[in-house]
Each structure stands twice: as structure tokens, then as C-alpha cells.
């Protein structure tokens, strides 16, 4: 149950470095501008003074850029705090049972379950494939309208027991009139790891990854 957070810390460090470099560059340019302005004012001709409007506009531009940099620094800090809060929330899912839309679930101790939702009653051909895409079981099942649980005990088409692992279900359903219909599936499982390498934390159910924002329900065992 390894938890990694390499990407988050790297991206935060990169953003901070860029902000600091930008601030240093604008400060250096502003100092050079003031030095040039002072020199020009000291050496200007009394009969042909420099246009003060130009200097005023440039000062306003420098001030605007500096304000934008400060805003970027504030946004970077807020993003870092938000990422830290999201990471903390994701770790809180460890040990809970979550459900999400999906067709791949884990067979463990001769049990794998999918929640099927059918718009109408009918008959379905169910195909189960292993992680390599090989068909291990094909059967027919009567569907009722609404949610229902399909449980598989790991028995293959050759009457053997499939090993524990990830299996994917495919449903070819038709209603009582023979018209094709779409049956959706959800999966559930216990979270045993969290992956922070992407922009969105991924909750791990064995080898199955579930984006944090795709979780449909959470149940914590008493």
C-alpha cells in the first residue's frame, strides 16, 4: 500500500522557482529604468525637457506587472494549499469501500460483483474477460429494470476456478421485445492505496485506479 507524492512536490517547486525568478527580473529591470530616468533628468536640456508623460506611462506599466506577479504568487500559494487539502482527503479514503462507474473489478476469494442498471427488463449475454483480454466466461442472465447485483464466483467456461485478479464485464442486452438496450455497470472495492503522481489523486483497489472525483459512494466499515 505505497503512497507516492513525487509529482505534486515537483510541480510546486517548479511553480515557486518561476515566480521568484519573475519577481527578481522585474525588480532588476525597474532599478535599471529608474537609473536611466535619473540620468536623463540630470542631463536633459532646460530648453527641451523630456516628455514626462512617457515616464509616467512606463511607471504605470511597471507597477501593473509587479502587481500581476504578486497576484501570481498568491494564486500559487492557494493552489499549493488546495493540493495539500486534496491529498489529505484522499488519504482519508484508505480502508473504505467505494463505488464508481466502471466494468473492471477484482475477483478475490472466489467473488467478484458488478452493479448493473438496466432501463427495461430483458435478457443479457454477459462476457467476462481477464486482464489480458481473454474471455474466461460467457453466459446469459435475465435482467430486471433498475439496479441489480451480478455476482461471479470465478468459475470459467471450462468449469475451472479463475485466479484472483482484475476482470472486465461486457453486457449485450435486449429487452423483452428484442430491441437492444444499454445496461450500465458500477464497481466497488476497498481502497488499499492512493497515487498522487497525476493532477487528480487516484484511489487504488488492487490494480484498479479510480479518480477521486469519480467516486459515487463511500462506506466505512464499523
- What does the pLDDT average to over 81-107? 83
Grid cell of 205 as nine digits: 483497489
Contact 184, 117 (CB under 8 A): yes
Contact 173, 183 (CB under 8 A): yes
Tens-place pLDDT, residues 163-172? 999 999 999 9
Instruction: Check if CATH label 2.60.40.4070 holds for domain 97-219.
Output: yes
For the chain, what percent of residues have pLDDT higher than 70? 73
What is the biggest distance separating any 2 CA atoms in the chain, rounded to whole angstroms? Answer: 105
Lowest mean per-residue pLDDT among 32-41, 58-67, 79-88, 98-107: 79-88
Predicted confidence at residue 61, as pLDDT, reads 73
pTM of the model: 0.59
Residue 127 has pLDDT above 70, yes or no: yes
Report domain extents, the chain.
3-43+51-91, 97-219
Residue 221 has pLDDT above 90, yes or no: no
Predicted confidence at residue 198, as pLDDT, reads 82
Separation between Cα atoms, residue 186 and residue 32, nearest integer Å: 63
**For the chain, what is the mean pLDDT?**
81
Amino acid at each position: 500500500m505505497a503512497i507516492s507524492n513525487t509529482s505534486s512536490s515537483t510541480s510546486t517547486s517548479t511553480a515557486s522557482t518561476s515566480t521568484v525568478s519573475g519577481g527578481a527580473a522585474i525588480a532588476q529591470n525597474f532599478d535599471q529604468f529608474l537609473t536611466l530616468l535619473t540620468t536623463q533628468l540630470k542631463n536633459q536640456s532646460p530648453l527641451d525637457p523630456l516628455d514626462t508623460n512617457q515616464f509616467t506611462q512606463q511607471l504605470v506599466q511597471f507597477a501593473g506587472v509587479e502587481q500581476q506577479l504578486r497576484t501570481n504568487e498568491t494564486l500559487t500559494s492557494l493552489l499549493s494549499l488546495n493540493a495539500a487539502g486534496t491529498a489529505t482527503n484522499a488519504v482519508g479514503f484508505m480502508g473504505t469501500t467505494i463505488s464508481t462507474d466502471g466494468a473492471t473489478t477484482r475477483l478475490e476469494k472466489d467473488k467478484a460483483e458488478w452493479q448493473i442498471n438496466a432501463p427495461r427488463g430483458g435478457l443479457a449475454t454477459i462476457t467476462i474477460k481477464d486482464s489480458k483480454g481473454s474471455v474466461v466466461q460467457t453466459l446469459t442472465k435475465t435482467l430486471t429494470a433498475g439496479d441489480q447485483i451480478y455476482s461471479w464466483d470465478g468459475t470459467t467456461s471450462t468449469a475451472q476456478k479463475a485466479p484472483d485478479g482484475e476482470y472486465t464485464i461486457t453486457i449485450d442486452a435486449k429487452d423483452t421485445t428484442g430491441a437492444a438496450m444499454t445496461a450500465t455497470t458500477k464497481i466497488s472495492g476497498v481502497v488499499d492505496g492512493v497515487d498522487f503522481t497525476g493532477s487528480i489523486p487516484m484511489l487504488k483497489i488492487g490494480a484498479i485506479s479510480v479518480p477521486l472525483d469519480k467516486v459515487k459512494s463511500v462506506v466505512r466499515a464499523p
